[in-house]
Amino acid sequence: MTSVSPVNRYIHDIFGCFHDPKWTAITCFCPCVTSYRVGKKLGLDYWGIASVVFYVLFWAAVALCIVIAAATDTYGFLEIIYIGLWPFTFIVMRMRILMSRMKHLEGGDLENVILGWECCWCTLCQMHNHLEEGDQLITNEFKPQTGPAPQYQQ
């Protein structure tokens, strides 16, 4: 008989990104910081570093497109910006799939890909909040009791 791992739920739903306003703002303006932290907490340092590299390269490409558009009077760079986010989005989707497998979380690979594609930032916030609060729940659950030792009667 094989044992089946229990399936856990995320602490917040996908659109519960405003649960922690500070990290929501950080994720909106610089999502590579959040993705790096998620990767680090999962032990996937290389995915976190890759997300930072791709995001920095993305903004370098955006700056180059703006300079080219200003110099040539062409404004077709929005497609390049959209395509430029694909590698970062792919990394977030991949980290969500790996996190779901490692933590036995609900949702299959296809669902994780769709959610990661639909709102990359919400997905990052959800993963970050789950890892932060999950660690706190585990820490609080196994925290040693403080106070006087119980007295036993003989």
DSSP string covering 30-48:
-HHHHHHHHHHHHT-HHHH
Listed residue (41, 64, 26) closest to 138, CA to CA: 41
In the chain, % of residues over pLDDT 90: 3
pLDDT of residue 148: 56
More confident residue, 129 or 67: 129
Burial (CB count within 10 angstroms: exposed 0-12, middle 13-18, buried 19+), residue 148: exposed
Q: Is the pTM of this model over 0.95?
A: no
Q: Say yes or no to pLDDT of 41 above 80.
A: yes
pLDDT of residue 135: 60
- The residues, any chain, with a CB within 8 Å of residue 107's CB and separated by 6 or more, are 100, 115
What is d(CA 78, CA 76) in angstroms, rounded to the nearest whole number?
A: 6
pLDDT of residue 152: 47
Q: Say yes or no to pLDDT of 153 above 80.
A: no
**What integer is the mean pLDDT of 6-11?**
74
- Where does the pLDDT of residue 147 fall: very low under 50, low under 70, confident under 90, or very high at 90 and above? low
What is d(CA 38, CA 23) in angstroms, rounded to the nearest whole number?
A: 12
Q: Say yes or no to pLDDT of 54 above 50.
A: yes
Whether 17 and 27 have beta carbons less than 8 Å apart is answered as yes
pLDDT of residue 80: 62
Q: Say yes or no to pLDDT of 140 above 50.
A: no
Give DSSP secondary structure letters for 14-81. Answer: TT-GGGSHHHHHHHHH-HHHHHHHHHHHHT-HHHHHHHHHHHHHHHHHHHHHHHHHHHHT----HHHH
**Exposure pattern of 62-72 as b/e (b: 16+ CB <10 Å)?**
eeebeeeeeee
- Where does the pLDDT of residue 70 fall: very low under 50, low under 70, confident under 90, or very high at 90 and above? confident
